[in-house]
Amino acid sequence: MADTPALLPPLPVQPADTPWPTRDWPRGDLPAGGTARRVEALLEGAFTADPAGDLGGTHAVVIVQGGRLLAERYADGYGPDVTCRSWSMAKSITQALVGLAVGDGRVDIHAPADVPAWRGPGDPRAEITLDQLLRMSSGLAWIEDYSPENPSDVIAMLFGEGQDDVAAYAEALPPAHPPGSFWSYSSGTTNIVARCLSRALNAQGPALEAFMRERLFNPLGMSSATPRFDAAGTFIGSSFCFCTPRDFARFGLLYLRDGVWDGWRLLPEGWVDYARTPTWQQADVEPDSAYGAQWWLGLAGPGSFSANGYEGQHIVLCPRRDLILVRHGATPTTTQPAVKAWLRDLADAFV
């Protein structure tokens, strides 16, 4: 087993002299000396690197420490006001939305998921809980492959036969393992979660987007957030919520501050700890990258947790350093480890 909840590092509070970035990010300076030199060298290397190299093209980097924006850099054609793809960072946003519904008493994550298609007599999928879906341990068959030449459920769901009703595509797949017995990363399960959320709120499409803005985006000042919905009105929570890098950093700050924003508790108490508590130590992922509930764990060292997306999109949170790193780019899947190593080096530059 990995860390237990009791061993999770404490989440830092917003410094008393630092305003919340609901409208504008308060600014700060990189620590003088070795930290500044290491950070500048890493940024220079990332933005001048050959786009065909291991890091691929780096489009944007935002660095926040102590609640202050210390540094940011953008490639040509990008900037503070340019929205970027979330890809699977949207999964962590979906987890926040479920947390809001949990806080409202509309969802019980340990009860069987509300999926009418699984209610037939003897259907073993009827036992799958929302918790197991959030933790990628539902046991449903799924192929998460990003190569068009290979069989891929994620490509079929997002861009092929399932694109008009992404949740229905994922719900129709058979069980491959008993619920809770096997971990397998699946964008499909996140879209099932998004459909369950819609049912709990009785809101789809524009009505669900209004909920997202009223309860999450607007309180944080995430004015750029642009979620995408399928033709059935389901939020494509696996993959599509466009934001500026600064707004992704705002979302990260909400989690680094334990779901509290400017004196108001937005996420229920314990929800962030739930997100960063390991499901178990999976044998088929990198040793420093276990999984919680729609958040990855350990990318930047023990206690860190992150929202990770295809092609190297990342929101990395380091509680011990009170640090947020946002990175956007276009990195081939085969060289993703290089981006993770670069992010670890960047985090290690800070005390």
Predicted confidence pLDDT, tens digits, the chain (351 residues): 334 455 799 999 999 999 999 999 999 999 989 999 999 999 999 998 777 788 999 999 999 999 999 999 999 999 999 999 999 999 999 999 999 999 999 999 999 999 999 999 999 999 999 999 999 999 999 999 998 889 999 999 999 999 999 999 999 999 999 999 999 999 999 999 999 999 999 999 999 999 999 999 999 999 999 999 999 999 999 999 999 999 999 999 999 999 999 999 999 999 999 999 999 755 455 555 699 999 999 999 999 999 999 999 999 999 999 999 999 999 988 888 999 999 999 999 998
Helix locations, the chain, DSSP H: 34-48, 90-103, 130-134, 153-159, 166-171, 187-201, 205-212, 218-220, 245-256, 271-275, 336-348
Scan for tokens 């008993």, then name that residue: 178
- Distance between the two ends of the chain, CA-based, in angstroms? 28
Domain edges within the chain: 5-84+244-348, 95-200
Residues 6+ apart with CB under 8 A from 195: 115, 167, 171, 234
Helix locations, 218-348, DSSP H: 218-220, 245-256, 271-275, 336-348
Are 190 and 237 contacting, i.e. CB atoms less than 8 angstroms apart?
yes
Fold (CATH) for 95-200: Methane Monooxygenase Hydroxylase; Chain G, domain 1 (1.20.58)
Assigned architecture for domain 5-84+244-348 = 3-Layer(aba) Sandwich (3.40)
Q: Could you say which DSSP state residue 214 is in?
A: I
What's this model's pTM, rounded to 2 decimal places? 0.95
Q: Residue 288 has what pLDDT? A: 53
Question: Which residue type is seen at 182?
Answer: F
